[in-house]
Amino acid sequence: MEARKAEKLSDSRLQIGESADKSNAFGPNQTQRISWKAVVFAAVLIPLNIYWIAVAEMVWTGLHFTAVSLPLNVIFILFWLIGYNAVARRIAPQLAFSQTDLLVIYIILATSSAVAGYDSLVGLIGVLPHITWYATPENDWGNLFAGHLPPWLIITNREAVHDFYVGEVDFYGANYWRYWLIPAISWTFLVLIINILLLCITVVLRRPWTEHEKLAYPIIQLPLSMSNPKTRLFHSRLFWIGFAVAAVVDIINGLNYLYPSVPYIPVRGIRLDHYFTEKPWNAIGWTPIRFRFFMIGMTYLLPLDLSISCWFFYILRKIERITGAVTGWSNIPGYPFLGQQSMGAVIGICIIALVSINRHLRDVIKTVCLGRGIDDSTEPLRYRGAVFGIVICSVLIGVFAQQMGLSLWVVAAFVLIFLMMCIAMARIRAESGVPEHIMHVVSPQDSLVSLLGTRSFGPRNLSGLSLFVWFSYRKRNYLMPHQLEGFKIAEQARFPSRPVFWFLILATGMGLLSAFIIFPQVLYRYGAEARAGGMRAVGWDAFNRLSDWLQHPRSPDWIGNGFLILGLSLTFVLTFLRRTLLWWPFHPAGYALATSRCIDDYWFTIVFASTLKWVILRSGGARAYRRSLPFFLGLIVGDYLFACGWSLLGIILDRPMYTVWV
């Protein structure tokens, strides 16, 4: 109990060391001016950053730095900009960036990375030519669904697709760009509209979460602390100790990758399932033990109740599997229905998040309809403009979907579930700062088929929904949390949030444009068949599932739907107990993350870091916790810096390198 109280105090003042009360670089009422130098510099960096993503995440399928809540590549760039600042202040102070400049650059690059990254446009590029290349007489895709896919959304020219997969071709020199132009424009329009819709929803939800509930936003603490000289993060001995620990291990393991005679430090750990080979214990499935330093640093920032909840429900999930093997329940198709459980939990978290701010939402409606209710003059966009944007974007998405051949009710149901997922992820990340939130077994498509069966949709609707797999299935880099964190950074650093709204749109648009210019060129050079395995996997996910639905029509999954209701109900119960009983240790977000297989890769890191945090809070309270933070932030920065360094060396040498995190 004492540890929980100390943690709540420390979360409300999550700053570095003793400078917590005065770490802000600005006065209490001082508003900082945003320099166009920073915006132009960030815009110039976007194409270079997108090229880095193309080679690292697509070609080598190595370091997936955009799949983490705190993007590795952007922290790497921020670190070196701060180093540049240290030199510029001595030589030419007028050329140095202010903290506001650095944070604006961070916001723009983080957003553009999320738009173009591994679980976004990288996946889309894998979908566009997939059916033209992989359709064969054996799988009969041509007869099953090829005729239901709009030709203006995929690449249909056989020669252009052949050279895409084979490689060693100049994309622009061979004039293949003309076959990509219409699909690129079409998808750019849809993605831009979806992201503006999310941005308008973020504007509406921002105030109660940020100003009334005062959520912690742990993810932004590192860029804020790095960019603010008054926190003196880089003067902390503990920071450099943590940095050195991660750096030394990454250097040694990177050398081991190049020269196997160099010893390897086993940070990737072991797999427990290799030791449980007898029934029923072998039912636990993949159970790794990892020691990734940046994950240790990020999970140390998690609230204790969420950490405990994550590994409790993770272990409970393993018990479910073992119980299923003992009782024979595992023979039931879909058992233990993790997708339905986690989708129910996600929907529940979204509903609770919206119900808890119902008064604010009513005031927003009054402001929009009657012109009175809330003073929205300081909002990133006035509420009337935000609601108008939501309506217009929703209509445009409906028109786009109808042009695809989708029924209006189908696209409405899909968009509703997708938006609920986005809101739930934004809420979880703002409250807890979870380092990764991939929902392995959750997607709107699977949920709709489970609820209604395939016959309710028909081939055209199922085919259209399958084209959306790249941004709605196994997704980690949700854009809405980045948007919300951008506005929070503006509030914390005391610069106006209204320009941030337009910077986010700029970052989205430039990220899309850069990706469609750079990604095809890179893949036509290297060849997607030999490389880009992760990108191609998205295409297989989309069309293998579609083929299965069409060849084996399904009725509604009533057992699975029951588990969805169970997940929804359990989320409501956990929330009620959490708000009623101060001692209740389990957080509904932990249930959603654990059942979706989100934390499988770092569950042991959560156990390790939360135990350390509990001991520190118990022995020294909030003050000891704040003093320990630089060490764990050093672990993150050290791991990030050398992970990205090996990645850049791989680009220079044109070969794969050691990867800290795959």
Residue span of the structural domain in which 367 resides? 2-26+35-653
Structure-token match 């739907």, residue found: 561
Least confident stretch, 84-98, 150-164, 334-348, 523-537: 523-537
User: Is residue 659 included in any domain, yes or no?
Assistant: no
Quote the pLDDT of residue 359: 92
What pLDDT was estimated at residue 541?
87
pLDDT higher than threshold 90 for residue 94: no
Round to whole Å and give the CA distance between 227 and 83: 11
**How far apart are alpha carbons 510 and 373 in whole angstroms?**
36
- What pLDDT is stored for residue 635 in this prediction? 95
Residues 485 and 108 sit within 8 Å (Cβ to Cβ): no
Domain-located, residue 660: no
Q: How many domains does the chain have?
A: 1
Task: Please give the Cα distance from 465 to 209 (Å, whole number).
Answer: 32
SS3 sequence of 249-277: HHHHHHHHHHCCCCCCCCCCCEEHHHCCC
Question: Residue 183 in contact with residue 124, Cβ under 8 Å?
Answer: no
| pLDDT tens readout for residues 605-651 | 999 999 999 999 999 888 999 999 999 999 999 999 999 999 999 88
Q: How many whole angstroms separate alpha carbon 182 and alpha carbon 376?
A: 40
C-alpha dihedral (251, 254, 255, 260), degrees to nearest 10 = 140
pLDDT at 21 over 50: no
How many C-beta neighbours within 10 Å does residue 250 have?
Answer: 23
84 part of a folded domain: yes
- At residue 62, the pLDDT reads 74
What is the torsion angle, in degrees rounded to the nearest 10, for the CA atoms of residue 117, residue 121, residue 126 and residue 129?
-160
pLDDT tens-place string over residues 370-386: 887 788 888 999 999 99
Q: Is residue 114 part of a domain?
A: yes
Residue 28 pLDDT exceeds 50: no
CA–CA separation, 104 and 495 (whole Å)? 10
- Cα 659 from Cα 593, distance rounded (Å): 25
> pTM for the whole thing?
0.92
Q: What mean pLDDT comes out for the span 95-123? A: 92
Within-domain flag for 589 = yes
493 found inside a domain:
yes
Question: Which pLDDT score is estimated for 535?
Answer: 76
Rounded CA-CA distance 593/312 in Å is: 11
Of 189, 127, 197, 569, the closest CA to residue 416 belongs to 197
Q: Are 520 and 176 in contact (CB under 8 A)?
A: yes
* The pLDDT value given to residue 63: 78
Q: Which of 202, 185, 26, 125 is nearest to 521 (CA)?
A: 125
> Is residue 661, in this structure, part of any structural domain at all?
no
Which amino acid belongs to residue 325? A
- Higher-pLDDT residue of 569 and 475 is 569
Q: For residues 49 and 57, give the distance between their C-alpha atoms in angstroms, rounded to a whole number.
A: 12
Does any domain span residue 393? Answer: yes
Length of the chain: 662
